[in-house]
Structure 1
Amino acid sequence: MSPFSAPGRPHRDDVLIAASGLLGGVLLWFLGLHGGPPLFGLPARLALLALAAMAGAEMLRRTAPGTALAVAVAALTLDVLTGTVIATVLMFTDVVYAAVMYGSPAAARRIPRACVLATVLATLLPVALLRDPQALLIGVAVGVGTIGPAWTAVIIRNHREAARAARLRAEQTALLAELDRREAVLAERARMARELHDMVANHLSAIALHATAAQAVDEPAATLEALGVIRENSVQGLAEMRRLIGLLRNAGAQDAPAATPRLDALDALLERARGHGAGSGLTFTLTDDRPPGGPPLAAPVELAAYRIVQESVTNALKHAAPGEVTVRLSRADGALSLAVTSPYGRRPGPRAPGSGSGLVGMGERAALLGGTFDAALDGDVWRVRAMLPADEKEQPQ
């Protein structure tokens, strides 16, 4: 923005300010409420000209603040020489304020400094020339009319720019979060596609091979064994298909295969969590009450259970109060039960903001397997509970 840009259409509020100042100044002048007689023999009516020029500068205070300030300085000079109307002085202070508030960044830096310099000169020169302490009042008047509005505008402008920058950062953060969320969804879908290829296709291949063997070998024992393998792979393949079919829509770009997390990796997960949560006063313990030597869990159940625990631990690191976070696993009546408890309350420093999508994702993982999920506040403890079918034959068809 040029400091002396061409004026545009005046703002409605500026027109009202200019009109009010002009009418008020004319009234004061006709009532004889002005500073004193003109200097150097100038006609007193020139004060009205200065008033009109100042009102015109007020109309340009937003659209051309540099031009408005130049006109205002000339008008104030004429006003001082012709008797000083208080309305003209008041409008001048507003023009100084507007020049800093709405002017270019360079003008916002230079004008306050110029006001300080003008105040210093207006203080020292009259005292040096008049040799009268009362001459200090001239500097005080100049400071009130220039430094006051200029630095007030600086403070307000800096506050507005800081608020604008904060809003911009918030919008950028929200945009990055949304991009991260979309990329995470695409990555999850791509991972599910890889699991479909690596796991379901493997089951189907085993079914085809053992079916061919059962047809080729005319031995009852071999046929029964092949049928057992076929049934086992069919059940596991169907379970994985049920979990994946609802998630494989518009899969993202393929990347390198990734290993599927399992429950035996929870120790490593919690060990990492202990390191991350040490500064927040959090400790993590794992209690595995599953009977030893039991049948292995299906990969979809292991994956869902691991992810639910992982998300719960992540939420605890972000939101939990200092204390102990416990993870408990148990298996009974054909179901895998897991529970994660964390202390709820105030914690040092601000809580990290959350969107709630993690709870939705945990609920969806449990629902896709035909299980249940619940997360709620129980007194001063946040509890996450999930019940997942441990036997494939018990999952919904």
Structure 2
Amino acid sequence: MRPFTAPGRPHRDDVLIAASGLLGGVLLWFLGLHGGPPLLGLPAQLALLALAAMSGAELLRRTAPGTALAIGVAAMVLDVLCGTVIATVLMFTDVIYAAVMYGTPAAARRIPRACALVTVLATLLPVALLRAPEALLIGVAVGVGTVGPAWTAVLIRDHRDAAQAARLRAEQTALLAELDRREAVLVERARMARELHDMVANHLSAIAIHATAAQSLDDPAATGDALGVIRENSVQGLAEMRRLIGLLRDAGAQDAPAVTPRLDALDALLERARGHGAGSGLTFVLVDERPPGCPALAAPVELAAYRIVQESVTNALKHAAPGEVTVRIGRTDGALSLAVTSPYDRRPGPRAPGSGAGLVGMRERAALLHGTFDAAPDGDVWRVRATLPADEKEAAS
């Protein structure tokens, strides 16, 4: 059972309607502009009581439309028995309209049907009892006073609900668009962070390693070589930083051709790594097991593969023990396989500081292409393995 709740404060417009109806009905009563004689011997003054009750129902038309309709029906019956005041009838039609407009969905469905049923009965019964054509006017009057306002409210309510549903859909669409925009911004930020890290970390790691060597060496020639390497990597890193910033600032950068690193550039990458790792006892070997005549890979696959190898080589320069670093590339069954192995050094700290984002970036690159990635120690070897789809359609999906 639903708990009873007292109706809220009447709306200002409802107060005006109730007051106007009450004052207008009283004025019509004293001017003698009311219906015929009372029925069942009731005093005619009871019509004023029905008028006051209908005015009270108007005060509840928005806050308690069901209660207002119940009061209005009782007041209307009393008004008909006491001679009928036109103001009471007009307010009753408004009470029916408000009950459908502001009532529950169930009430909005049932009230128009009930009004239609009452109209049919008010048409058939007088015709059957009076057996005169004029009796049809009673049904017409009842239909105008009940069915008319009820179905008018149905049409307006349906239009209002449709407008509210449209506004809700528009708000939901705007919210989804905003969420999509934020997601796109986050994805783009992550992409830029990976690109910035992969482009610059290699050069900065080489600078840090050679700067440490220059500080610890007393040989002027070796110190000069280290400073030369530092200068070369500084210039290259600065150039790549400027290129990335230019791409971000230039509004037409998306239409300009961008230089995308490819697997063909791994020889140059490992050649630079040999120069950086010579002082640490590191050697770098590239083993290309791809069959001859392989078609070129999609640009996203080439870029991801290059960046994964680049980050693996950078990590080897910072962390690996002296020995051989092997980069192995293969292509079988529509997949590109990458494997980078380096001597595992259990030293407490790296040769150069890092952000710890390298493994995260490599894993993200593989995941974006629906590939696999794994990096973990395997005995005395640190092994990085990645598998990327070689099919261009699969990589772009």
Q: Please indicate the TM-score interval, normalised by the length of the shorter structure.
A: 0.5 to 0.7
1:61 aligns with 2:64: no
1:177-192 correspondence runs (5 A): 177-192=177-192
Identity of aligned residues (%): 76
1:275-286 correspondence runs (5 A): none
Once the two structures are superposed, residues 179-206 of structure 1 have per-residue CA deviations (whole angstroms, 9 ceiling, x without a partner) of: 2212211211111110012122234456
1:236 aligns with 2:239: yes
- Say if 1:156 and 1:2 are closer, same or farther in 2 by CA, change over 3 A: farther
- Say if 1:31 and 1:191 are closer, same or farther in 2 by CA, change over 3 A: same
Tell me how far apart the structure 2 counterparts of residues 166 and 3 of structure 1 sit (CA, whole Å). Answer: 33
1:1-397 correspondence runs (5 A): 6-205=6-205, 230=233, 233-240=236-243, 242=245, 263=257
Tell me how far apart the structure 1 counterparts of residues 199 and 168 of structure 2 sit (CA, whole Å). Answer: 45
Once the two structures are superposed, residues 293-329 of structure 1 have per-residue CA deviations (whole angstroms, 9 ceiling, x without a partner) of: xxxxxx9xxx9xxxxxxxxxxxxxxxxxxxxxxxxxx
Tell me how far apart the structure 1 counterparts of residues 210 and 65 of structure 2 sit (CA, whole Å). Answer: 87
Report the 3-state secondary structure (helix = DSSP H, G, I; strand = E; otherwise coil) of the residue aligned with 1:147: helix
Report the 3-state secondary structure (helix = DSSP H, G, I; strand = E; otherwise coil) of the residue aligned with 1:44: coil
1:207 and 1:233 in contact (8 A); partners too: no
What is the deviation of 1:45? Answer: 0.9
| 2:102 partner amino acid | Y
Tell me how far apart the structure 2 counterparts of residues 83 and 227 of structure 1 sit (CA, whole Å). Answer: 108
Aligned length: 251
1:55 and 1:91 in contact (8 A); partners too: yes
2:199 and 2:237 in contact (8 A); partners too: no
- Say if 1:46 and 1:2 are closer, same or farther in 2 by CA, change over 3 A: farther
Tell me how far apart the structure 2 counterparts of residues 14 and 74 of structure 1 sit (CA, whole Å). Answer: 20
What is the deviation of 1:145? Answer: 0.5
- Say if 1:12 and 1:218 are closer, same or farther in 2 by CA, change over 3 A: closer
- Say if 1:234 and 1:130 are closer, same or farther in 2 by CA, change over 3 A: same
| 1:129 partner amino acid | L
Tell me how far apart the structure 2 counterparts of residues 235 and 23 of structure 1 sit (CA, whole Å). Answer: 87
Tell me how far apart the structure 1 counterparts of residues 230 and 60 of structure 2 sit (CA, whole Å). Answer: 91
- Say if 1:168 and 1:157 are closer, same or farther in 2 by CA, change over 3 A: same
What is the deviation of 1:3? Answer: 12
Report the 3-state secondary structure (helix = DSSP H, G, I; strand = E; otherwise coil) of the residue aligned with 2:97: helix
1:96 and 1:149 in contact (8 A); partners too: yes
Tell me how far apart the structure 1 counterparts of residues 105 and 176 of structure 2 sit (CA, whole Å). Answer: 30
Gaps in structure 2 of 5+ consecutive residues:
260-298, 304-397
- Say if 1:232 and 1:182 are closer, same or farther in 2 by CA, change over 3 A: same
What is the deviation of 1:231? Answer: 7.4
Tell me how far apart the structure 2 counterparts of residues 29 and 58 of structure 1 sit (CA, whole Å). Answer: 19
Tell me how far apart the structure 2 counterparts of residues 140 and 9 of structure 1 sit (CA, whole Å). Answer: 36
Q: CA RMSD in A?
A: 3.8
- Say if 1:218 and 1:4 are closer, same or farther in 2 by CA, change over 3 A: closer
| 2:239 partner amino acid | Q
1:4 and 1:64 in contact (8 A); partners too: no
Gaps in structure 1 of 5+ consecutive residues:
247-259, 266-298, 304-397
Structure having the higher Rg: 2
What is the deviation of 1:156? Answer: 1.2
Tell me how far apart the structure 1 counterparts of residues 8 and 233 of structure 2 sit (CA, whole Å). Answer: 82
1:2 and 1:104 in contact (8 A); partners too: no
Tell me how far apart the structure 1 counterparts of residues 4 and 98 of structure 2 sit (CA, whole Å). Answer: 14
Report the 3-state secondary structure (helix = DSSP H, G, I; strand = E; otherwise coil) of the residue aligned with 2:84: coil
Tell me how far apart the structure 2 counterparts of residues 10 and 43 of structure 1 sit (CA, whole Å). Answer: 32
| 1:72 partner amino acid | G
* Aligned residue number for residue 271 of structure 1: none
| 1:239 partner amino acid | R
